[in-house]
Each structure stands twice: as C-alpha cells, then as structure tokens.
Structure 1
Amino acid sequence: MVLTTRKYDVIVVGGGHAGCEAALAAARMGLSTLILAIDLDKVASMPCSPSIGGTAKGHLVREVDAMGGEMGKASDASAIQFKTLNTKKGPAVHSTRTQNDKNIYHRTMKAVLEGQANLHLKQGMVERLVVEGGAVKGVVDQTGFGYEAGAVVIAAGTFLSGLVHVGQCAIKAGRAGEFAAYGLAASMKDLGLEMGRMKTGTPPRVHRDTIDYSQLEEHRADETPCFFSFSSTHAPLPQLPSFIGHTTEATRNVVMENLARSPLYCGTIKGVSARYCPSFEDKAVKFPDRVSHQVILEPEGIDTREMYVSGLGNSLPVDLQIPFVRSIPGFEEAEIIRPGYAIEYDYVNPVQLRPSLETRKVDGLFLAGQINGTSGYEEAAAQGLWAGVNAALKVMGRSPFVLDRSQGYMGVMVDDLITRGTLEPYRIFTSRAEYRLMMREDNADFRLTEMAHELGLVGDDTVRQVRERKAAIDREMGRIRRVVVKPSAEINAYLGERDSAPLKTGAPLDQILKRAKVGYDVVNTVAPADPPVEPRVAKQVEIEVKYEGYIDRQLAEIEKFKHLEKIRIPENFAFDAVHGLSNELRAKLIEVRPVSLGQASRIDGITPAALSVLMIHLKRQGGQ
C-alpha cells in the first residue's frame, strides 16, 4: 500500500449529512481530519426531499445545532419555507420543518467544510479498510493510494453495493448518476461484520411550468419563521409556497395493472422497505380501500424549475411513470425531468456497535448514518456528529461521549439501534422518546451546549449566551411567583376574553399563567418585567409554569431510569454463564452486549424476572 506522507487523526468516508457533521466535529475538537468523498460537487447533497426537519426530526436538528453542528445553520441559510408542525398540541411535539434550496444548502455546507481549520477535503472512492491486529489503520482508494489514520468513520449512505432500479433496468449506483461503492462493502464483509440489505427510493421531479396550480391547494410559509439554529436571526431567502394535490383511482390503476413491471413486486428488489415512507406501489397494494393519496409539490430551489412530488415515490419504468403522474388533477400536462427510482444498498446490523458507534469487531472503526440502518438526513447528521466526536475522543484517549434516553433524541436513536437493531429503515418519532416533555426543541441548547463546550465543539461566547438565557429564565420564574395579582377590572376583563374565571381574591401570577388559554401576555398585562424579557425567555417561562406538574413527574421517572443505567455491566461479562435465563435471552444478551442493566432491560424479550436474575449474577461476577 502506498501511503500519503501524513497521518491523519480521523478519516471520514462519505460527504453526505453524516460525513459532514462527523468531519466538522473531529476537526473542531482540534484533530487533523480528512473527509473523502466520491464527488466533492455532491457534498451535503439532498438527493431525496428538499427539506429538513419535521416531527421529531426537527428535534434532532436542534440537538445537532446545540452541540455545535452545522445542519441547522445551513438549513436556515437555504430555507425557502419555514413551518412549525403540531402547534395545536403540546410543546413536546412542536417540530420545525423547512423546505430548502438544495443547491444553496450544498454550497453553504461545502464552504463551511473548506474553511474549517484542521479539515482536509479530498475526492476519492474508498475501496477497502486497512486493519491490523484488530484495529483500523487507514483506508485505500480505488487507485491503490492509501491514507493512514488513528480512527475511521464510515458514513457511506446508500452507496454500499448500491443498485438503482427503474422498472427492470438495474444500475450499479449509490444514487442516480453516481458510482456505487462495491469494494468497500466487500471489505467490510471480509471483516466479519453482519450486513443486510435495505431499500429506499425517491419520486419523480417535474417541470414547474407544466403544472395547473388552479387544481392544487397552496400552502405558504409561517409568517414568523422558527429557526433551527439558536444563532440564526433572519431568513435570507424569499419564502415560496408548496402545493397539495391528490391522486385518483386512475393513478392507482396504473400501478395495479402493471405490478409485474415493478421491481418491488416482481421479485427483483430484495431489500427491506420502510413502512413509514412507503412507495406508491406499497400504498396501492397495502391500502386497497384508499382511492386517493395526498401529494405535495415542493420547489427544489429558487433558480430551478424542478419540483419534487412528495408521495409519488416509485420504481416503475419511465413509460408508466408518465401516465402515472399525469393521472393526478393538475398534472395532466406534467413533464417529468427526472424519473423516480428505487435503490437497494447494504447496511450493517447496528447491534454490533458500542454506544459510541464504534464497531465491536474493529477497534477505531465508527459507523454513522444509513449504514446503520437509518433513513433521513436528520438521523444521519445526528449520528455523524456522535461518531465524529467519539472518533476524536478515541484518538485522544478520552472516555466516549454518550447521551442517555433522558438527555436527547440522539440518545434515544442510538440506544434503539444498538439495543434492538433494525430490520427496516429506522426513523425517529416523538413516540420513541419516553421523556419527550424534557427533550423539547426549544430547550436543546440548555440540555446540550455545556457538554459541547466541554468537548471543544462550541466557543466561550456561545456557552455564555446559553448561561445568560438560563439565568434570565430563573429570574423571571422567581419574579412571577412572587407577584400577587389582586382582582381588578383590567385582569378580569383579560380573563373574560379568554373564557377564564375572574379573580375573586389575590393569586400568584404564575398560577394565573397556568390557566388554559392564558399566555405569557398576561404577565405583560398586569406586571411587565423591567427591562422586558426576550421572547425566547418568555416562551420558556410559560412552558415551565404550565407544565410544572408534568415536568416534576417526568423528572422522578428519569431518576428511576438513571438508577438502572448506573449499574454497569463489564465488557467481558459472561452472559452464557447466567443460569435461569432461556437460551434465546442469553443469545440476545451475547449479541447486544449491553453496557448497563438499563440497556439490558430494553432488549426485546427481557422480563423483570430475567432482569432480576441478571442482577444477581452481575453482583456475583463483580459488576458495579
């Protein structure tokens, strides 16, 4: 192997959302970092939906931002529509979503990568990993040139043995028009990593001037944008509408009458599809009583006429995609610019990973993104940051960075993956988080920025601002608890307008704020702060006051949860020697190798009785 003259601390393979965050994290922690991408003109590409965020996904973006990551900033800088979802529900599930100009997103992220100290960009396809004595030593590209490093992060997306399907045409590609990485996939299999096959896809893109918008419902951006990044102050781009339409029985008939020509249903595709983002073939077959399905027409950018048709993902041949698309009202004259397609790719069973996302088989080898069986830009970015931080810590000889399930959606996702694995593309949901009231979008910086500062991911100014906001919240909470509001015409008129009972005796201001339909404006009405608090502080105060009882109960639940997490299981613990467990449970414990009793409790099939048996044997074998 011919080696470069320099040794890098960390090498990141892949320039997608996971790769970008991994490389930036390692470089910002002061380590010499190399990012290798097959095509540097596709760094941070958005090959599927031109959007970031959504339910629970927005939480991940906020957490990445709070940890010093870049996705939130790049999304705000390229957003052409801001939306906050679930606003009629509680704050735990409020989620930010943006539509983005995908080219501006790419250019914004690439400029950050190129300007980052300690970070080197090179174009090349990694062909194999160099492993000696059970530890990764570097990588070799397709030309035979090698790069040496102390740790390697693989963030290969859909490129491992990627196969694109359009009808019966199957093309070896990581994405349409891009090379697939077959050598790297074979190299990972040779290392003994258990791998599987998954499938995802993307819908057609149509020319915006060929759509009859009078038959579609227009949806505009929120008047007041809610930014992903805590540092963003304004939306720099024009805000564009999206449009909603619906498929017809004719749309369904095109699919049902031609299933034999769909690689998904004629047996060509072997990979497992995502239930939560089904192709239209799946919708037609699995929901036979549903005549119509929603489609969303979204612009892919300001300076392009390409429109993304969300909801029409399919793998039909092109001659069928044309009548398929044109069967939708408003799309009768639609011109397809890029056909939809399905793609199969290899992934690694994530139960083979440590909580740091390091593989147990190869020391210093970390995996992030779709290679771990996940789907989505946001899931990839969060794993990328997590793996990049831990690769850096590995080289530095420091303890791993791990969040638990009470600290962030990132912690929920990683714990789900390494404890339960996944047999289909994994997607984050708010329902996966047991402590979601404590892990809201709005408090991600309070939860995580101090940790990011300790790791060297954010500077002193950032953490100082977070501390000052937290102090302002505490001051305002204390103030409104001390203020007693007496009955008056003014306050009772305010309460009457909100269908709330009038005051008959004096009441603490925080108790009035707890009432339904009463917002923080009641504070400004009867006892405004001097000087006024900033809107973010006011929002936090209102949430903490209104949900105080629920928050207290969840904090008590978290204390119980942390008790089990504190009971650690040694890495060499002999699960096969634990008597009183079924062979099936012993096999699962050996496969997952949980690091704590808490993690063991979340393995499928583990009962309270089994947990008690495990605890007894853990004490006998010297566990803590």
Structure 2
Amino acid sequence: MNPSKTLAASKKAFQCIVVGGGHAGCEAAAASARSGASTLLLTHKRSTIGEMSCNPSFGGIGKGHLLREIDALDGICPRICDKSAITYQALNRGAGPAVLGLRAQIDRKLYKKFMQKEIFEEIPNLDVYEGAVEDLYLEQPTSPNGIPKVKGVILADGRHIYSDCVVITTGTFLSAEIYKGNVTTPAGRIGDAASYGLSKTFSNVGFRLGRLRTGTPPRLIADSIDFSKFELMPPDEKPIMFSFLNKEPWLAPEKQYPTYLGYTNPTVAELVMKYVKGSKHVAEEINGPRYCPSLEAKVLRFENLKHRLFLEHEGLDSNIIYPQGMSMTFDDEIQLAIMRSIPGLEKCEIVQAGYGVHYDFVNPQQLKTSLETKLINGLFLAGQINGTTGYEEAAAQGLLAGLNASLKSQQKDLLTLDRSQAYLGVLIDDLTSLGTNEPYRMFTSRAEFRLHLRPDNADLRLTQIGRDFGVVNNHRFGIFSELREKYETCKKRLDAIKFSLPKWCQILDGFQTKASSKTLTAFEMLSRHNIALNELAKKFPSELGAFSDDDDLAYRISSESRYAIEHRRLIKKVDEMREELKAKLPDSLDYSKITEINLECREKLANYRPQNIAAASRVPGVTPDVLITLLRYAKRAPVFI
C-alpha cells in the first residue's frame, strides 16, 4: 500500500480525488468542486465522460424522484438531461403526484457533449486527468484500534496523486467480465478495460465483496424496422422537465420522437428455452437486476407470458434503435433470430449485439450514511460499486459522496439525509442498514413517506439544506427563494380563509354539496372539493390575486393539499408504533403464507428473517401497512415485549 517511489502526477495535491467518469463520478466531482474543495476527476478516458453506457433514457417510477432531488441539490445530471431530451413520457400520470414517474429519452451525443462542456469548462476548482487507478495510498493507523487514512491514489504506472479524501465511482468495472454466448472477455463495457487493482485493494483491507450482473440488449438499425407493426406511444403534449430551473423543453413536443411498444411471442420463448441452457451468463450463481431482468430470466420465470419491448431512438441524427426490455447474452446469430421472430422486426439488422456484465461490488453495509467507508477514513464510495443499478441511483450517490468528501476535507460537518426527508435518504438507509444481494433499484414503494416525498416539492425539501452545506449556487438559490416565499405566502393566506360548507356554496359559482356545518379552509377546499386555485383567486382577489395564472404554484399547492391529511395520519401511525417496534417475530413465521403482503415483500422478509418489528422496518420495501400486518403475527407469539 505504501511503495517507496513517489511520482507526482500533478504539481499540486488535491483536497478530493474522484475516480471514475460516469454519472456518479461527474456528480461527485461537481459537488466536491462547487462546495469549495480543490478536486481532481480521474478517468480512464476523458472521451468517455458523459457516456450513456446502457439505455438512452433517464427517470421512471422512483428514479424520476431521485432526479428531482439531485436537481434540488444543484446536481448537474437533470439539467443536462433537459438540454438533450428528445422525448418526455411521464409514467403514472393518473395515479397522482406522489407516484408520478418523470421520464425522458435522451440523445446520447447531445448528453455527452453538454456533460463534457460542463465538466471541462464550467466548474471551478476542478481538474480532469486521464489515468488508471491501481491502488490507494494509505496512512496506517498509529493506535491498535485505529483504521487507515486515505492519502491519495496510485496509478497503474506507479505515479501517486495526493489528496485528503477519495471518492470511488467505478460503476460495473471492478474485476468486470463481459459475457456473450460462452465467450468471456475482461471488460466493463464494450471497448473499455476492467479494473482489477482496486478489487485487490478492497479485499486486502478487509472489505466484503460480492458479485452482481447486468446486461444490455442488441442495438438495431432503424431503417430495417417496420414500425407500423408496433403500437405508437407519442411524446407528452405537456412535458415535465427534470430540472426546476427549466419550464419548457428545448425541443417542442411536436418535434420530439415517439416510442414504439411491441411484445414477444411463443417463438421468442421457444428460441430462448432452446439455447438458454448453454448460457454461462445465466448459469452463474450471480444475482441480476430483479426489475430490469434479461430476456432469458423473464422467459425462464414466465415462459408463457408475452413480454413487452419498447423501441427507443438513440438520438435525433442516429439510425440506431434501443429495444428496451430485450437484454440478452446469446451468440450473435441467435440474438438476430430472436429479434426477427417479432412482428415488425422480420428484416431487422443488429449493429451491436447484446451482452452481459459480471462485476464486483462492495457490501454497502460497510458504509456510513455519509457514504464514507467504515474501514478507511476519508474514502467514499458511490454508484454501482455499492450494489445499485441505474444512472439515477448512481448520480444521487455521487452528489452526496462528492459533497461529503469536500466537507470532510475542509473539516466541516457532513450531510446525511433520513428516510423522511428524501428518496436519497431512503436509498442510503436501505443500502447501509441492510446491504443488497441484487442490483438495488429505487421505487416509490420503498419510501414510507412517499406522500410527502413528491417530485413537485423536492426543492422545497432540499434546496435550503443544499445551500446550508455550500453546494447550491446563488442563481438557483435566488430563484428558489422567490418561489418559496410565494408558496408559503399563498398557503398561509389559503389557510386563513375559512367558511362553513353552506357559505362556500354561496361564494363559489356552481359549487354544491350536502348540507353540513363543517368549516373548511380554502387550502382544504383545493383537494376535498377539487376547487382550482384560480377560481379561489377570482373570489378573493386581494388575498390571492397575486397567485392567479401560476400553473406551477397551483400544482404544488394542490398536491400538498391532496396529501396533507394522509401524511399527518402516517406520521401519527409511525409515532404510535415506535414502542411496538420491539415486538419479536417468531422464528417459525412462514412469510409465504401472509397473503396480505405483496410477493416481493414476502420474499425479502423470508430472506432477511428479521428478529423483531424494528428489524423488519429496515427491510427495503416494508411499509407501515406491512409492519402493522406483521405486528398482528408478533402479538400471537409467546414472547411480546
């Protein structure tokens, strides 16, 4: 760990070094530099910074919430997405603001262009250096019970770069191997070498490592596809941006590209079942992503189902189509046969075949909630190295790890977020308290306080916190401060307007309800009787006139009103359960028979075997309603504390 020769790769030491140029790395570097630390972004290739290594899309259920939170903390990823989005298609629009899944397809070239411009030109205190990191430079503890302190990194050519803190964001590159058919190639993705030195370093220090897998589908040539045989999914007429700073898309909705929906068929299933036995990628006892499984995994589990696939454009000037949902690892000719068995793809051509990746990850239970490791002082980990999947989870971790590395290097208090504050808090708590044995993906069902942790209020929840910790710039904070003042003033005035329901019937044109003497505030009228803010502003111009015709404010206020009662009930329910969290769960409890709980939750509980309700509450996806169900079983046990 401490070789004698020391060759400086730079004339200066840095307060923070970020290793890796992916989404977690870029966010970490930006957060560290913007919060005051001299920062170096170390990447194997400068040209790969901003590379979207897999699907050409961002967001989704839960993932869109993370993007809004990244933006609220002044991260760069959501703004870059809005500069390069070619399709906005929000999910769950009919299910309410709390579970709205913001999503967009992205032009790969534009995203990379704008990300590189931001990293190379627009962030102060940030240098970018090309180099492969082979090892960590550590200062050994002086006391028997101490832990090593990171002092920098050692490059593959022996050079040292010194720093107070290091953030590792190596993605899927740790001891990575690509699988296709029965051929295995050392690589983290096509054309990029794997990283082996850091895996050895982590093992030598005592970190517990695991192995995960992921994959990517074949890329198709657009001109070889008959799109008329697929269901057209047009862009949203009223797109919702990822960044709070953006109100309109750069590309008008009528110029955005559609998505196309199709389905697999019995022929696809037959081909998969015929060749899957020879797939080394599937045969390996390595866990893949539960919620973004390979085609092989889906057919093996549900052979008789028709599985969805989505054809997505990779860019405005690209002739490549990404078939979302068709990740596979067969030989090239088998992949082509499978794709051509789908109506509309009979003559399709593959420009790059799909493949699988196996890689090392660090058990995230060895991390603090700041994302600093427990075994090495000053070392932070972010992204897929912590067992997560996806751009969004990685970027969110990168922002937090980079900010905290900067704060630690300046001897300041670190930022931690709890489950009631942010989806990022849920993500970190799930990882650090329970770890994971499969690539972790964010969902709204994981958040107990999801009625409050909505995309529309991420800035109201987090931007002031980010400002307090030095990561939110003046421009954003100025815009946020005006919005917050307007929001709070409007809500206060709505709460001050109170009438009985008969009186409301007299005030509001066309409003009728059953006779009742109940008194409601104007704020409560928004949700309980679906009264628009503009309608109230017309009736109370002196109090509310200043807020008329502000669609963003009206949506925020209405959403808050809609969930206010449920949120208060949830908080009360959780408070009432605090003492009951000590209730023991019987060892013999058969979770598979508790039909009141969904299948995923039952599988998780059976796997973790929590000893009491408190432990069960830390299992990912366990909600207060699930805990109440478990409490009934706990009370039947002989011992109840």
Same fold (TM over 0.5): yes
- What secondary structure sits across from 1:547 in the alignment? helix
Q: 1:521 to 1:184 in 2, by over 3 A?
A: same
- Name the counterpart of 2:509: 491
- Name the counterpart of 2:526: 513
Spell out, residue by residue over 1:594-623, the C-alpha distance to the aligned partner (whole angstroms, 9 max, x if none).
xxx989973799999xxxxxxxxxxxxxxx
Q: Give the CA deviation at 1:525.
A: 5.7
Q: 1:563 to 1:103 in 2, by over 3 A?
A: farther
Q: Give the CA deviation at 1:520.
A: 3.6
- Name the counterpart of 2:303: 288
User: Counterpart of 1:513 in structure 2: which amino acid?
Assistant: L
> What is the aligned counterpart of 1:230 among 235, 244, 256?
244
> What is the aligned counterpart of 2:568 among 552, 562, 567?
552
Spell out, residue by residue over 1:116-153, the C-alpha distance to the aligned partner (whole angstroms, 9 max, x if none).
11000111111111112111111112222221111100
- Name the counterpart of 1:464: 478
| Residues in 1 aligned to 2:516 and 2:313: alpha-carbon distance in whole angstroms | 51
Q: Give the CA deviation at 1:532.
A: 3.5
The answer to whether the 8 A contact 2:449-2:567 is kept is no
> What is the aligned counterpart of 1:537 among 553, 557, 561?
553
Give the CA RMSD over aligned residues. 2.9
Query: Matched residues, percent identical?
Result: 39
| Residues in 2 aligned to 1:410 and 1:506: alpha-carbon distance in whole angstroms | 38
Spell out, residue by residue over 1:393-415, the C-alpha distance to the aligned partner (whole angstroms, 9 max, x if none).
11111222100110000010001
- What secondary structure sits across from 2:536 in the alignment? helix
- What secondary structure sits across from 2:13 in the alignment? strand
> Which structure 2 segments of 5+ residues have no match?
1-5, 141-147, 582-586, 588-607, 632-641
| Residues in 2 aligned to 1:301 and 1:536: alpha-carbon distance in whole angstroms | 30
| Residues in 1 aligned to 2:370 and 2:105: alpha-carbon distance in whole angstroms | 31
Q: 1:182 to 1:442 in 2, by over 3 A?
A: same
- Name the counterpart of 2:294: 279
Spell out, residue by residue over 1:358-389, the C-alpha distance to the aligned partner (whole angstroms, 9 max, x if none).
11111111110000000010000010011111
Q: 1:518 to 1:261 in 2, by over 3 A?
A: farther
Q: 1:522 to 1:505 in 2, by over 3 A?
A: farther
- What secondary structure sits across from 1:514 in the alignment? helix
> What is the aligned counterpart of 1:247 among 257, 261, 264?
264
Spell out, residue by residue over 1:36-95, the C-alpha distance to the aligned partner (whole angstroms, 9 max, x if none).
111111112111110111100011111111111011101111111112211111221112
- What secondary structure sits across from 1:257 in the alignment? helix
> What is the aligned counterpart of 2:134 among 115, 118, 127?
127
User: Counterpart of 1:402 in structure 2: which amino acid?
Assistant: T
- Within a 5 Å distance, the mapping from 1:155-554 to structure 2 comes to 155-237=169-251, 238-265=255-282, 267=283, 269-290=284-305, 292-481=306-495, 482=497, 484=499, 486-487=504-505, 491-492=509-510, 495=511, 508-515=521-528, 517-524=530-537, 526-527=539-540, 529-533=544-548, 534-554=550-570
| Residues in 2 aligned to 1:387 and 1:507: alpha-carbon distance in whole angstroms | 45
Q: 1:246 to 1:351 in 2, by over 3 A?
A: same
Spell out, residue by residue over 1:204-258, the C-alpha distance to the aligned partner (whole angstroms, 9 max, x if none).
1100111101101111111111111111132113411110111111111111111
| Residues in 2 aligned to 1:564 and 1:71: alpha-carbon distance in whole angstroms | 41
The answer to whether the 8 A contact 1:486-1:506 is kept is no
Q: 1:489 to 1:396 in 2, by over 3 A?
A: closer
> What is the aligned counterpart of 1:80 among 78, 81, 86?
86
The answer to whether the 8 A contact 1:487-1:503 is kept is no
Q: Give the CA deviation at 1:515.
A: 3.1
Q: 1:58 to 1:151 in 2, by over 3 A?
A: same
The answer to whether the 8 A contact 1:486-1:505 is kept is no
Q: Give the CA deviation at 1:562.
A: 9.9
User: Counterpart of 1:244 in structure 2: which amino acid?
Assistant: L
Q: 1:503 to 1:9 in 2, by over 3 A?
A: same
Spell out, residue by residue over 1:256-287, the C-alpha distance to the aligned partner (whole angstroms, 9 max, x if none).
1112332234x3x3431111111000111111
Matched, 1:38 2:25: no
User: Counterpart of 1:107 in structure 2: which amino acid?
Assistant: K
Q: 1:406 to 1:510 in 2, by over 3 A?
A: closer
Q: Once structures 1 and 2 are overlaid, which stretch shifts more, 46-55 or 517-526? A: 517-526
Q: 1:302 to 1:426 in 2, by over 3 A?
A: same
Spell out, residue by residue over 1:148-167, the C-alpha distance to the aligned partner (whole angstroms, 9 max, x if none).
11110000000111100111
Matched, 1:3 2:8: yes
| Residues in 2 aligned to 1:174 and 1:146: alpha-carbon distance in whole angstroms | 24
Q: 1:524 to 1:139 in 2, by over 3 A?
A: same
User: Counterpart of 2:327 in structure 1: which amino acid?
Assistant: G
Q: 1:66 to 1:562 in 2, by over 3 A?
A: farther
Spell out, residue by residue over 1:522-579, the C-alpha distance to the aligned partner (whole angstroms, 9 max, x if none).
43564453234422211122122233211322344576799999xxxxxxxxxxxxxx
Q: 1:563 to 1:440 in 2, by over 3 A?
A: farther
- Name the counterpart of 1:622: none
Q: 1:343 to 1:563 in 2, by over 3 A?
A: same
State TM-score, norm by structure 2: 0.84
| Residues in 2 aligned to 1:88 and 1:15: alpha-carbon distance in whole angstroms | 37
Q: Once structures 1 and 2 are overlaid, which stretch shifts more, 138-147 or 552-561? A: 552-561
The answer to whether the 8 A contact 1:203-1:313 is kept is yes
Q: 1:338 to 1:503 in 2, by over 3 A?
A: farther
Q: 1:475 to 1:404 in 2, by over 3 A?
A: same
Q: Once structures 1 and 2 are overlaid, which stretch shifts more, 245-254 or 371-380? A: 245-254
User: Counterpart of 1:226 in structure 2: which amino acid?
Assistant: I
User: Counterpart of 1:3 in structure 2: which amino acid?
Assistant: A
- Name the counterpart of 1:67: 73
> Which structure 1 segments of 5+ residues have no match?
566-581, 583-591, 609-624
The number of residue pairs the alignment matches comes to 573
Q: 1:524 to 1:212 in 2, by over 3 A?
A: farther
The answer to whether the 8 A contact 1:487-1:505 is kept is no
Matched, 1:105 2:111: yes
State TM-score, norm by structure 1: 0.86
User: Counterpart of 2:8 in structure 1: which amino acid?
Assistant: L
The answer to whether the 8 A contact 1:491-1:526 is kept is no
| Residues in 2 aligned to 1:353 and 1:140: alpha-carbon distance in whole angstroms | 22
| Residues in 1 aligned to 2:351 and 2:152: alpha-carbon distance in whole angstroms | 41
| Residues in 2 aligned to 1:192 and 1:135: alpha-carbon distance in whole angstroms | 14
Q: Once structures 1 and 2 are overlaid, which stretch shifts more, 463-472 or 19-28? A: 463-472
| Residues in 1 aligned to 2:367 and 2:615: alpha-carbon distance in whole angstroms | 13
User: Counterpart of 1:514 in structure 2: which amino acid?
Assistant: S
| Residues in 2 aligned to 1:395 and 1:20: alpha-carbon distance in whole angstroms | 18
The answer to whether the 8 A contact 2:217-2:355 is kept is yes
Matched, 1:602 2:615: no
Q: Once structures 1 and 2 are overlaid, which stretch shifts more, 210-219 or 134-143? A: 134-143
